Structure 1
Amino acid sequence: MGTARWASEAPPTGAPRTRPRGSLFAEPSRTQGFDRATLHDDASRLDSPPRERAVAPGRRRTQGVETMETASELAVRLTKLSREQFWNVYTEFDWPEALSGERYCMKPELISIYGTELWDELDEAQRMRLSLYEIGNFFSLTLQGERPLVAGLSDRLYSKKVTEEATEYLHHFIDEENKHMIMFGVFLQKYLGKVYPEKKIVLDREYSKGEEELAFFCKVMVVEELGDYYNVKMMLDDEIEPIVKQVNWVHHRDESRHLGFGRRHLTELAEQWLPVWDDATKARFSDWLGAYIKSSWSDFYNPKMYDDAGMRDVAGTGYQIRKMALAHPATAAHRAKASKKLVNIFLRLGLLQEQPDL
């Protein structure tokens, strides 16, 4: 098993950019002032018809009426964006030889035991060490979640399950997810010496018509929505290791497109199949989806992560810490907050029939 790599001094020259590339990090331009009197004296402006309001992203206007874009129409726009923002995973990062050891690797508020009595008992050095293995577990979860995602998307290329326009975008989707796996893999092998293995067991089951397709894209949404919540919280945080901040930013940059497509495509699938399912099928799917979200959250409390961080000498075995953390009100509140957008999407679409107990 590999060991974590820290540096006793500041990162060497060539450390990752503190502001990764991307328009999000550009300084906002200052709005120029204007003379209102001059504006009102301009007869040509006064005589001109009012400007038509711009169409919001993700919507279209037909004969003056705004409606949602279809997944295929959205895929065309996303394909263009992916081509414009194409990047090379092998040149995007200047990987430091070791982490500084002087900053958190995960934002403290996102650490799995934050808000518990155990967190209060840890000193700063113990918290920082735990943060390394927490980010290692988070990146491992994301990597492991993207493996079946890529396999499933590949299986849908040039099939009747998706349109020609969607197939074109899925090529970019798969390419970007593959880059993410490389990115997370480099970080994990370089600074932890390993990738935490996947714990989920896939059981064969029979599906009603359309159920397997809906289940696949629901799983995609769970992995990506929960992951993006963490990405957004860390990608602008100057208090964490710069390379961690950059990895979160790069991941979010692509995932914002993936999430847009996933939400739209899932909406169309729900509109297609839910009306033909009987009540028993809807209830069964809702129960499965709630259990899947809960199971996905349990992976954030990896016993091995606690053991690797040296917590056994402080608070018992990793399994004991996991049990305590999952049952604590503070962590339950965190899971509910982080899942709010995801759960609301599923409730709105009718895929969940009630708020799951997370």
Structure 2
Amino acid sequence: MADTLGVTPREKVAQRLLGGSVKRSYDPVVDMDWDAPLDPDKFFLPAEVVSLYGTPMWQRMTHQQRQELSRQELANVLSVGIWFENILNRMLLRDLIDEDPTSKHAHYTLTEMGDECRHMVMFGRVIDRVGAKPYWPKGLDAVFVKALPFFLRRSMVWTGALLGEEIFDALQRRIMADPDLQPLVARLMRIHVTEEARHIRFAREAIARDADTLPAWERQYTRTLTAIAAPLFADMFTNRHMYARAGLDGREAKRQAMANPHFRQARQTGAAGLATFLDDAGLMGRLTKASWRRWGFLA
């Protein structure tokens, strides 16, 4: 519904976010110190959020082995971030076909896509700068990633955006000030958190506007795909190949990580705010909650 001046709530939100983008946006090519040396003793992710932290395997590892695992886990997380931001941009561009190109909503959508393109550049450069290689989907995983945009429609576009952004964002906010974190990684997280806050607001507002009027089939469809997201994320966060690159037994490391209460708590911390929001919007049915609890995203 438009106000007395004919401006819809959707346009008001987009206008505010456009103003925020003007005031606080970054170009990682110039806003990160790519020439600064890496600290030989610091971790690439804080120890307490590394998936094997506290496990028997972790207890046997040297400081150097733990540091290397944190490097590989960072590269894996950033690779997953690139996949999801690529998928999000494809969905946003697809939906712009039906938008009024003069609207603030369309303009902010394009602004967000620009942010995501710069984030993908930043993630790729950080992977390279820390001396790692990206993790790219293969086989059926590659087919799934490429097909995903065809299944994410209507409300699921925005729910998918939150799934791909908000869990990672919550973890970043928790760890980016850690004094034992590599400065380059801390800077990446500060930039990403600042710009993702606007993207999350955009997606949340879109879901909140339509939550009460979703047809039953769409609500159930979104709940089902959200339930499927839990094992997908759990598998990605415990990619056995990153353990192998760190010199560990990949299958045993994955088994210990999935059973690790510290890592489970980290997943729950990252997903807590999103789970509450989706539940309030009616998008967390019994199947979804059971799946999230089974895979460690809900207590």
Matched residue type, 2:133: K
Matched residue type, 2:159: C
- Unaligned segments of structure 1, at least 5 residues: 1-60, 63-68, 312-316
> Is 2:202 the counterpart of 1:265?
no
SS of aligned partner of 1:90: helix
CA 285–225 in structure 1, closer or farther in 2 if over 3 Å, else same: same
- Unaligned segments of structure 2, at least 5 residues: none
> Is 2:115 the counterpart of 1:176?
yes
Match of 1:139 among 48, 54, 78: 78
Tell me what 2:63 maps to. Answer: 124
CA distance in 1, matches of 2:42, 2:150: 48
Q: Which has the larger radius of gyration?
A: 1
Match of 2:225 among 283, 288, 302: 288
Tell me what 2:284 maps to. Answer: 352
Q: Once the 2 structures are TM-superposed, how far is the Cα of residue 282 of structure 1 from its aligned partner?
A: 4.0
CA distance in 1, matches of 2:233, 2:148: 18
Matched residue type, 1:165: K
> Is 2:118 the counterpart of 1:186?
no
Q: Once the 2 structures are TM-superposed, how far is the Cα of residue 234 of structure 1 from its aligned partner?
A: 2.6
Q: Once the 2 structures are TM-superposed, how far is the Cα of residue 174 of structure 1 from its aligned partner?
A: 0.7
Q: Which runs of 4+ in 1 moved over 3 A?
A: 160-163, 202-207, 281-285
Structure number with the bigger relative contact order (C-alpha 8 A, sep ≥ 6) is 2
Q: How many residues align?
A: 280
Tell me what 1:219 maps to. Answer: 160
CA distance in 1, matches of 2:159, 2:54: 30
Q: Once the 2 structures are TM-superposed, how far is the Cα of residue 205 of structure 1 from its aligned partner?
A: 11
CA 166–267 in structure 1, closer or farther in 2 if over 3 Å, else same: same
CA distance in 2, matches of 1:144, 1:228: 16
Q: Once the 2 structures are TM-superposed, how far is the Cα of residue 161 of structure 1 from its aligned partner?
A: 9.1
Q: Once the 2 structures are TM-superposed, how far is the Cα of residue 284 of structure 1 from its aligned partner?
A: 4.8
SS of aligned partner of 1:101: coil
CA distance in 2, matches of 1:352, 1:163: 35
Q: Once the 2 structures are TM-superposed, how far is the Cα of residue 259 of structure 1 from its aligned partner?
A: 0.8
> Is 2:175 the counterpart of 1:234?
yes
Deviation digits for residues 312-339 of structure 1, max 9, x if unmatched? xxxxx31221123113333333322221
Tell me what 1:250 maps to. Answer: 191
CA 133–346 in structure 1, closer or farther in 2 if over 3 Å, else same: same
Structure having the higher helix fraction is: 2
* % same residue: 23
Tell me what 1:18 maps to. Answer: none
Instruction: Map 1:304-323; keep pairs closer than 5 Å.
Output: 304-311=241-248, 317-323=249-255
Deviation digits for residues 250-289 of structure 1, max 9, x if unmatched? 111100111111111122233332xx215xx644542321
CA distance in 2, matches of 1:266, 1:146: 19
CA 125–89 in structure 1, closer or farther in 2 if over 3 Å, else same: closer
Instruction: Map 1:49-68; keep pairs closer than 5 Å.
Output: none
Deviation digits for residues 104-156 of structure 1, max 9, x if unmatched? 11011111112322222222221111111111111111111111111111222
CA 285–161 in structure 1, closer or farther in 2 if over 3 Å, else same: farther
Q: Which moved more, 1:224-233 or 1:90-99?
A: 90-99
**Normalization by structure 2: what TM-score?**
0.85
**Normalization by structure 1: what TM-score?**
0.71
